[in-house]
Amino acid sequence: MSIIHDFEYCKPTTLDEVTDLLSQHGEKAKILAGGTDLVVQMKENIKMPDTVIDIKGIKNLHEILFEDNTLFIGACVTFRELIESEIIKKYFPLIKEMSQTVASMGIRNRATIVGNICSAVPSADSAPVLLVYDADIIAKSASGERIIPITEWFTGPKETALRADELVTGIEIRLTDTKHAGRYEKLGRYSGEDLAQAGVCILVFEDLHYNVAFCAVGPVPKRVFSVEKLLHGKVISDVLIEEAKHLLQEEISPITDIRATNEYRAHMMGVMFERGLKKAVSRLHGGVNA
Amino acid sequence: MPEIHFILNHEKRVINVEFHETLLEVLREKLGVKSPKCGCDRGDCGACNVLLNGQSVRSCLILAVEVDGQEIVTVEGISKHGLTKVQEAMIDNNAFQCGFCAPGIIISATELLNNNQHPTIEEIKEALSGNLCRCTGYLPILDAVFKVSKE
Ligand code: FES
Ligand code: FES
């Protein structure tokens, strides 16, 4: 299938050029980084931009930085680069663990984590991990920059808090001082498949608080604050896990589609939550920082 | 029509492309490089894989204009000076039937072996997990790569 409509393509080298183009064209302009979603959507006429703005020419959007205990991942950073980054491995191993589950090599070499959250499909692998880390999304427009907390980012299936005149320049995560460990559990039919049928991410802190988030079992990926509250301050026990699993079921609303039934997804969420929580706790006590 | 300059299979190429043309379309239809195949045309099957600056990518998901200034290698380039070890192993092992998936799989396997000369069978499965084959059930393909890994 070819792309059957014409568009202008530009590859600016500065952010100001990008924001200028966005304020001129608004909805009609689309940002291109890895292209693994956008090109498919253009082929299927789901998106028909009149201008495609390739941001790969902007140098600092390719950076992974760690300064003042804060991680910055630029909008052009691919999953491959995250997997290979020493910074990620050392300080945010959960991001590496998640990235390794995204689709397959040929996609990870191109697809970006920022693109993944901008596409905002309910099954976005990056979402639960960024949610438990309390990431901030940096959005830029001609009128300035704003920070959008990840908890306010996903507004609906394939919908985000980003305005048409904005682009995401990167993601920021502050490393906490508290010792912690985590785990991302993903349910897929086989490795190499791009979509999670269900995903849950758990971050356990030494001071007994827990961050829990899911994807693919509701219209948007989200944090499960009720479960976090239940677990808060407590040492994990089998009774507590059962209680938490029960509560979790009330927070999710899985659908039946070609990949799995809602009953299966709901059941597996419980199983995966338990597995993930136990793994995260054992990692914490194994002394590995996440 | 914009003009792009890139290196294709170790040779400099200059060609005019439309913005909406994919790399796969330009390789096959304009440059006569037929090893990358169009299977799904939406990034799922890996039949169109090529190496972009040494990394395997889906040429059906890349606009041709994006490769301006970059380097592309296809199976034609890989075997310019004779078949590679992994290609030989595929033949010895009768790894393919119809062969439609073969170029994409050779690309993925080549990338893997370039980065890791002795991958485990698990690493081979992971590296090839984005390549679909409708004929073989994969085992002879995985075995062939493993054979090269053990050399
Ligand atoms: S044709 Fe490109 S991945 Fe299938
Ligand atoms: S040999 Fe026919 S698709 Fe693989």
- Interface confidence (ipTM) of the complex: 0.96
Q: How far is CA A108 from the centre of its chain?
A: 14
Beta carbon of B133 within 6 Å of any ligand 2 atom: yes
Same domain, A111 and A213: no
Q: State how far residue A4 is from chain B, nearest Cα, in angstroms.
A: 7
User: Largest Cα–Cα distance of chain A, in whole Å?
Assistant: 60
Query: A106 and B108 in contact by Cβ < 8 A?
Result: yes
Asked whether B2 and B17 are in contact (CB, 8 A), the reply is: yes
**A94 is written with which tokens?**
């959960």
Q: Are residues B62 and B104 in the same domain?
A: no
Could you tell which of B38, B93, B101, B107 is best to mutate to test the pocket of ligand 2, judged by most ligand atoms within 8 Å of the CB? Answer: B101
Closest to A31 (Cα-Cα) out of A141, A166, A123: A166
Domain span at residue B106 reads: 85-150
Q: Which residues contact A234 (CB under 8 A, 6 or more apart)?
A: A208, A240
Q: Tell me: do B70 and B91 sit in the same domain.
A: no
Q: How many CA atoms lie within 13 A of A183 on its CB side?
A: 16
CATH number for the domain including A3? 3.30.465.10
Residues B64 and B33 in one domain: yes
- Residue A237 has what DSSP assignment? -
- Pairs of residues, one from chain A and one from chain B, whose beta carbons lie less than 8 Å apart: 91
Choose among B25, B65, B131: nearest Cβ to A9.
Answer: B65
* Residues ≥6 apart with Cβ < 8 Å to A181: A203, A204, A280, A281, A283, A284, A286, A288, A289, A290
Alpha-carbon gap, residue A271 to B52, rounded angstroms: 40
Same structural domain for residues A185 and A171?
no
Round the CA-based radius of gyration of chain B to a whole number and report it.
15
Total domain count, chain A: 2
Q: Give the Cβ contact number of residue A162 at 10 Å.
A: 19
DSSP state, residue A68: T
Q: Is the pLDDT of residue B149 over 70?
A: yes
Same domain, residue pair B71 and B100: no
- Domain identity same for A127 and A222: no
Neighbour count for residue A90 (Cβ, 10 Å) = 11
Whether residue B18 is found in the same domain as residue B61? yes
Does A289 reside within a domain? no
Residue A290 in domain: no
Residues B14 and B47 in one domain: yes
In the chain, the amino acid numbered A187 is: L
Measured between CA atoms, the residue of chain A closest to residue B68 is A11
Q: Is the C-beta atom of B97 inside 6 A of ligand 2?
A: yes
> Best mutation site among B17, B30, B51, B58 for testing chain A: the one with the most A CBs within 10 Å?
B58
The tokens describing B97, both together, are: 């039937």
Q: Do both B101 and B66 map to the same domain?
A: no
Same domain for B54 and B111, yes or no, is no
Q: Is B70 close to ligand 2, i.e. is its CB under 6 Å away? A: no
What lies within 8 Å, CB to CB, of A36 at 6+ separation is A103, A107, A110, A111, A115, B43, B58, B61
pLDDT (0 to 100) of residue A192: 60
| Secondary structure letter of residue A176 according to DSSP | P
> Do the Cβ atoms of A138 and A118 come closer than 8 Å?
no
Query: Is residue A186 included in any domain, yes or no?
Result: yes
Q: Please name every residue paired with A199 in a beta bridge, in sequence order, or none if there are none.
A: A186, A215
Query: Which of the listed residues B35, B60, B77 is the one where a domain comes to its end?
Result: B77
Give the residue from A213, A194, A280, A278 showing the smallest Cα distance to A252.
Answer: A213
B48 has a pLDDT exceeding 80: yes
A36 falls within a domain: yes
Amino acid identity for residue A110 in this structure: R
Q: Are residues A147 and A250 in the same domain?
A: no
CATH of the domain at B127: 1.10.150.120
| Domain boundary residue, one of B77, B105, B137 | B77
DSSP run (H or E) holding B7? strand B3-8
Which amino acid is present at A145? Answer: E
pLDDT at B1: 83
In which residue are the tokens 């804060």 written?
Answer: A70
Are A197 and A277 in the same domain?
yes
As a whole number of angstroms, the distance between CA A135 and CA A221 comes to 14
Bridge partners (DSSP) listed for residue A154: A160
Report the residue of chain B nearest A111, measured CA to CA. B57
Whether B69 and B126 map to the same domain: the answer is no
Is residue A229 classed as helix, strand or coil in its secondary structure? helix
B49 and B90 together in one domain:
no
Please give the torsion angle defined by the CA atoms of residues A148, A149, A150 and A151, in that order, rounded to the nearest 10 degrees. -120
> Within this chain, do residues A15 and A108 fall inside the same structural domain, yes or no?
yes
Our count of domains for chain B comes to 2
Q: Is B128 helix (H, G, I), strand (E, B) or coil?
A: helix
Phi, psi of B75 (to 5 degrees): -60, -35
Structural contact between residues A138 and A145, judged by C-beta atoms closer than 8 angstroms: yes
A265 touches A198 (CB < 8 A): yes
Residue that is last in its domain, among A132, A160, A175: A175
Give yes or no: residues A146 and A53 share one domain.
yes
pLDDT in tens, chain A (290 residues): 799 999 999 999 999 999 999 999 999 999 999 999 999 999 999 999 999 999 999 999 999 999 999 999 999 999 999 999 999 999 999 999 999 999 999 999 999 999 999 999 998 999 999 999 999 999 999 999 999 999 999 999 999 999 999 999 999 999 999 999 999 999 876 666 667 788 999 999 999 999 999 999 899 999 999 999 999 999 999 999 999 999 999 999 888 888 888 899 999 999 999 999 999 999 999 855 44
Same domain, B73 and B89: no
Closest CB from A9, A103, A109 relative to B57:
A109
Please give the pLDDT value at position A287: 55
Do A121 and A251 have their domain in common? no
Q: CA triplet A72, A199, A77: central angle to 5 degrees?
A: 25
B contacts of A191 (beta carbons < 8 Å): 125-126, 129
What tokens were used for A146? 């704003």
Q: Do A3 and B111 touch (CB under 8 A)?
A: no
Instruction: Output the pLDDT for position A290.
Output: 45
- Residue A105 host element (H or E): helix A105-108
* Whether residue A85 is found in the same domain as residue A62: yes
Instruction: Please state the atom number of ligand 1 nearest to the C-alpha of residue B58.
Output: 2
Supply the range of the domain harboring residue A108.
1-175
Q: At B38, which amino acid appears?
A: C
Q: Of A120, A145, A175, which closes a domain? A: A175
pTM of the full predicted structure? Answer: 0.95
CATH at B70 = 3.10.20.30
CA distance A158 to B85: 45
